[in-house]
Amino acid sequence: GAGVSQSPSNKVTEKGKDVELRCDPISGHTALYWYRQSLGQGLEFLIYFQGNSAPDKSGLPSDRFSAERTGGSVSTLTIQRTQQEDSAVYLCASSLPGTSGGGRDTQYFGPGTRLTVL
C-alpha cells in the first residue's frame, strides 16, 4: 500500500473485554512500532519490532498488553481485560532499518485507532 494502515479506525468496547488492533506497515519496512497517545498527552512508546529480532517490549504498560508481528509484516496489538485508562489513540509506525543504527530511519505513521473503553 501507499502508507501505513490501521484498523479499525475507531473501537468502542466495554471494560473487561479484550480488543485487537491491526497495523499494516509499508511494504518492505522491517521496523514496526506501536505507540499510545492519550488526550492532551505526548506519544508513549509501547513496543518495537525489527526483522526477526526479539521485540523491544520495554514500553508495554502491563501484562494485559501484547503484540505480535506475523511474517515480518502485519502486526496485532492485543489488550486484554480493557480498563477505562486504556482509552487512547493507538498509533503504528514503520520504517526501513537505519544502516548505521541509532534510529536515524524515518518513521511513517498510520492514522491510528481511537479506542474508547466504557
Partner 1 sequence: KNQVEQSPQSLIILEGKNCTLQCNYTVSPFSNLRWYKQDTGRGPVSLTIMTFSENTKSNGRYTATLDADTKQSSLHITASQLSDSASYICVVSARNYGQNFVFGPGTRLSVLP
Give the footprint of partner 1 on this chain (CB under 8 A): 4, 31, 33, 35, 40-45, 48, 50, 56, 58-59, 91, 93, 101-104, 106-112
**Cα dihedral 78→11→61→39 (10° resolution):** 160
Nearest distance, CB of residue 105 and partner 1, angstroms: 8
Nearest distance, CB of residue 81 and partner 1, angstroms: 26
Cα–Cα distance list, 19 to 11, 64, 80, 84, 115 (Å)? 8, 11, 7, 13, 9
Q: Pick between residue 1 and residue 40 the one whose CB is nearest to partner 1.
A: 40
